Homo-oligomer: A and B are copies of this chain.
Amino acid sequence: MLAQATISPTAPTPLSYHSGQPVTEPSDLWSTATRQTCARNRSIYSEGDPADRVFKVVSGAVRTFQLLEDGRRQVNAFYLAGEIFGLEATGDYRFSAEAIVTSQILVLRRDRLTLRLTNEPALMGDLWRITACELERAQAHFALLGRKSAIERVASFLVSMGERSVTNGAIELPMSRQDIADFLGLTIETVSRTMTLLEEQRLIAMPSARRIVIRDRRPLMALDS
């Protein structure tokens, strides 16, 4: 709805990474993709499905995650408008993907992508860079999950979200506290308590649970390490 005109699949779209540097991508890569609306909590693909499609978020937000047998969940990543997910080199999806809120996504069939790749081998390099970028982001997340305290994890998350999507001064969180907890390797209670703590310390403000304003960036960045 909102940004549909600017992120039209037929227009040249810079592909922005979380890590910062935008990489231009062939203007019509997504021109043969179909647009699809996904309701909140709707599954996009599940662990074990054949990886026959690649996706790009137009609006909304998507989470990828894995479940342990006893129900413990690990959210691997959040994907916001403009970001690509489901790009596996081969085989089946290793993780599941769901829409966090009602979302518009572009769906590109894998065989179409393969076709394009045979005609334009240079494209392969772009895909590789996207995957490599994702890998770097994943590995950076290791230090957070393996070595950081709760307050450091939450601060890192807010700083990262602040760099990705800010609407007039406030971060709009599409995901629930549970999603955040499962992303940061914490419980929902710890996430909630920690955000309250950050608010008490005047580092952030919370006009509502899903809207976060960063009041003092410096100490948050310090916690980010």
A residues sitting closer than 8 Å to B (CB atoms) are: 66, 68-69, 72-74, 76, 87-90, 94-95, 117, 121-122, 124-125, 127-129, 131-136, 138-143, 145-148, 182, 184-185, 225
Chain B, residue nearest A123 (CB)? B124
How many Å lie between the Cα of A133 and that of B132 in the bound state?
11
5 contacts between A and B (CB under 8 A): A73-B147, A87-B132, A131-B131, A131-B132, A146-B184
Contacting pair A139 B95 (CB below 8 A): yes
Report whether over half of chain A's contact residues are helix, strand or loop; otherwise say mixed: helix
A223 to B89, CA, bound (A): 29
Whole-angstrom CA separation of A158 from B139 in the bound complex: 21
| Residues of chain B within 8 A of A148, CB atoms compared | 68
Tell whether A94 pairs with B128 under 8 Å between CB atoms, given A134-B135, A225-B69: no
Inter-chain contact A94/B131, CB cutoff 8 Å: no
Give the nearest-CB partner of A136 in chain B. Answer: B94
A138, B140: Cβ atoms closer than 8 Å: no
